[in-house]
Structure 1
Amino acid sequence: MSFKLFTLLLQSALWTIGISAISILIGFALAILLSAALLSGKSVYTLPATLFISFFRGVPLLVQLLLIYNLLPFIGLNVPSIVAAILGLSLCTAAYQAENLRGGFESVPIGLIEAADMAGFSARQTFLRIRVPIALRLTFPALVNEAIMILKSSSLVSVVGIVELTRMAQDLASSTYLPIEIFSSAGLIYLVICSTVALIGRRAEAALPGGVK
């Protein structure tokens, strides 16, 4: 395979990384809100959060992407395909991250929460300054694994017209008749990206308070 073809794969890999990174960050912010809703104990919050998580964990991501891509124009939102792709990935990963975080929140020692109450912390302060940092530390490996899964699942956004790594590999394989070389190279790029994320995740986990250096 020529250097030019490999360069095209690398360029498309930047789209994969960019779309995945934005989706993971948006998903994490949504996951915090969903976890807070689940832990609120109020049905007005827990019911919508539970339904959201059940839907996006129970329906295949491919179906979600196609649904969002076709639903947005139907309700009058004519947005670029990349917006639909990021929205789909963000909502999906938010559901998984929320479940991971919920387990972390429930593992926070009750004594710390009681101590925060005695110190005069509001419920919001306790959540943001006590529960979130501890839950993040407890669930960090699971969150890194979810980030890797989103990186690999981002290959599905090709169904809404995004030319990311997998779509580029398909296009090049069909035009050059070099499927083995093209897809092997794409697989290698995915491996490097995911391995790098895993390595960064381990370094970041070790840097967190209580981490093993």
Structure 2
Amino acid sequence: MQAESFFSSTLFFLLQASQMTIFVSAVGLLVGFVIAIAVVSACLSPTAGARRMGNLYTFVFRGIPLLVQLMLAFYFLPALGIQVPAWAAAVLAVSLCEGAYIGEILRGGFLGIPAGQIEACQMLGLSKLDILVRIKIPQALKLTAPSLVNEVILLVKASSLVSVVGVAEITRTAQNIAASTFRPLEAYAMAGLAYMVLCGMLAALGHYIERRYREA
């Protein structure tokens, strides 16, 4: 295969594969954020049982490597008779893992909110849900914005692990191209470039968001 034809076809396939990388990362981030809110609320709950459950969740999903979680999700669900496509198992594992990591980040943000603000909201008659949605989450996001941006970038790179369960994202596509063309160096170099572009765009977006928070 001529060099020009190889690079153009590889670029085409990697651009298609990047859609799956973005999908897995985006859904994993969104679902993981919802889980993280529940986890951090449990960890900071005045109820001892809720705190233990939140801390146990964080301990388990931060302690087991994402690769192992992916394999467990991929093989455990069919063992229960639940047949799901590979991408669904991958999204499930990524979401559960991100819930633990984002929860720990948000915990620091929640603890950084002055206690007087929460007491004032309670005196005004705001419900716990209102305080969480209108006070705690916005301020926690502001306090933890750099860490959250870094976690998103790490998530995009960690999404390459879903290739082990057959999801055709960037890394899996690069593997297929390398195996079919016998040009692994070029295939993986272009895959690395694709990740670099995605992460660079996220970093630029993160810096923009941080500036907006500082100016607010």
TM-score, normalization: structure 2? Answer: 0.94
Partner Cα distance (1:166, 1:119) in 2:
52
What is the aligned partner in structure 1 of residue 90 from structure 2? 85
Q: Is the 8 A contact 2:160 2:170 kept in 1?
A: yes
One-letter amino acid matched to 2:20: W
What is the aligned partner in structure 1 of residue 193 from structure 2? 188
Q: Aligned match of 2:20 in 6, 10, 15? A: 15
Q: Aligned match of 1:105 in 107, 110, 113? A: 110
TM-score, normalization: structure 1? Answer: 0.95
Partner Cα distance (1:91, 1:177) in 2:
36
Partner Cα distance (2:137, 2:75) in 1:
36
Alignment of 1:16-31 (within 5 A): 16-31=21-36
Q: Offset at 1:122?
A: 2.0
Tell me if 1:147 matches 2:155. Answer: no
Q: Aligned match of 2:60 in 42, 55, 64? A: 55
One-letter amino acid matched to 2:27: I
Answer with 9-18 or 121-130: which moved more: 121-130
Query: Where has structure 1 moved over 4 Å in runs of 4 or more?
Result: none
One-letter amino acid matched to 1:196: M
The alignment-based identity, stated in percent, is: 45
Q: Offset at 1:82?
A: 0.8
Partner Cα distance (1:127, 1:14) in 2:
33
Q: Offset at 1:41?
A: 2.1
Q: Deviations over 1:24-64 (max 9, x none)?
A: 01100110111111111212211121111111101111100
What is the aligned partner in structure 2 of residue 199 from structure 1? 204
One-letter amino acid matched to 1:137: K
Q: Deviations over 1:132-163 (max 9, x none)?
A: 11111101111111111110011111111111
CA RMSD of aligned residues (A): 1.3
Q: Is the 8 A contact 2:153 2:199 kept in 1?
A: yes
**SS of the residue aligned with 1:78?**
coil
**SS of the residue aligned with 1:162?**
coil
Q: Offset at 1:2?
A: 2.8
Tell me if 1:70 matches 2:70. Answer: no
Q: Deviations over 1:73-102 (max 9, x none)?
A: 111211111110000000111100000000
Alignment of 1:37-48 (within 5 A): 37-48=42-53
Count residues with an aligned counterpart: 211
> Where do 5+ consecutive residues of structure 2 fail to align?
1-5
Q: Deviations over 1:116-138 (max 9, x none)?
A: 12222122222221111111110
Partner Cα distance (1:5, 1:133) in 2:
42
> Where do 5+ consecutive residues of structure 1 fail to align?
none
Partner Cα distance (2:7, 2:64) in 1:
40
Partner Cα distance (2:165, 2:67) in 1:
10
Q: Is the 8 A contact 2:71 2:165 kept in 1?
A: yes
Partner Cα distance (1:97, 1:106) in 2:
14
Q: Offset at 1:188?
A: 0.6
Partner Cα distance (2:193, 2:63) in 1:
30
**SS of the residue aligned with 2:153?**
helix
Tell me if 1:120 matches 2:120. Answer: no
